Amino acid sequence: MAKRWEENFDTLLNWLDPDRERAGTKYEEIRTSLINIFSWRGFKDAEDLTDETISRVAAKTPDIAKDYQGDPALYFYAVAKKMFFEAQRRDQRLASLPANPPAELTYQNDDEGPEYDCLEQCLNQLPPPDRELILLYYQQEHPKIRQRKELAKRLELTPNTIRVRTHRIRIILYACIEKCVAGAQ
């Protein structure tokens, strides 16, 4: 699979420009432009959406590069437009989840202490879609793989995208908790 990605990426660069240096420059310009477009439209995961857009274009490049006429950047923007609508639907589905998660989705622990108070405070500071995603992701202890695949399917995302997003949310939570605990001492 990695080999195919490398071949598709090489084809993509050749499609952008036969000169490898100019192709790399054009690639970076397109990538930066896509990140800006997604950011301007209000998506916090602009880089993820950009990477997914580029992956989709790279997968199609062997088929379209031969016959495509015009600026390849326009093809990227067309795929990005579809990604925008997909991401918008995804965010609407996440936003439609209850604002206050059911008790079984919240973190339960008999231990009292600043860490747990800070965790609750930091969870409440997250945007509702991020909070719901992280809580749903860690909802169950044992059937994780199946439950997370179902979550990915329900949100129309790949399991890897879910893992990356939850990883980024965890980084935010850890930083917030550390800051909160340090301030409480």
Query: pLDDT tens digits, residue range 24-74?
Result: 999 999 999 998 888 888 877 788 888 889 988 998 998 888 888 889 999
Distance CA 144, CA 9 (A): 33
- Please, are residues 141 and 108 in contact by the beta-carbon 8 Å criterion? no
pLDDT at 102: 46
Higher pLDDT, 7 or 70: 70
Is the pLDDT confidence value at 19 over 90? yes
Query: Of 69, 64, 93, 73, which Cα lies nearest the Cα of 33?
Result: 73
88 with 8, same domain? yes
Distance CA 59, CA 140 (A): 35
Question: Rounded mean pLDDT of 103-127?
Answer: 69
Distance CA 165, CA 17 (A): 33
Last residue of a domain, one of 67, 95, 123: 95
Count of domains forming the chain: 2
46 with 112, same domain? no
117 with 76, same domain? no
- CA distances to 33, 94, 102, 124, 126 from 99, in Å: 34, 10, 9, 10, 12
73 with 127, same domain? no
Q: Model confidence at 76, in pLDDT bands (50, 70, 90)? A: very high
Higher pLDDT, 32 or 160: 32
- The amino acid present at 113, given as its one-letter code, is G
The boundaries of the domain holding residue 36 are 2-95
90 with 109, same domain? no
107 with 50, same domain? no
Last residue of a domain, one of 39, 73, 95: 95
pLDDT at 185: 62
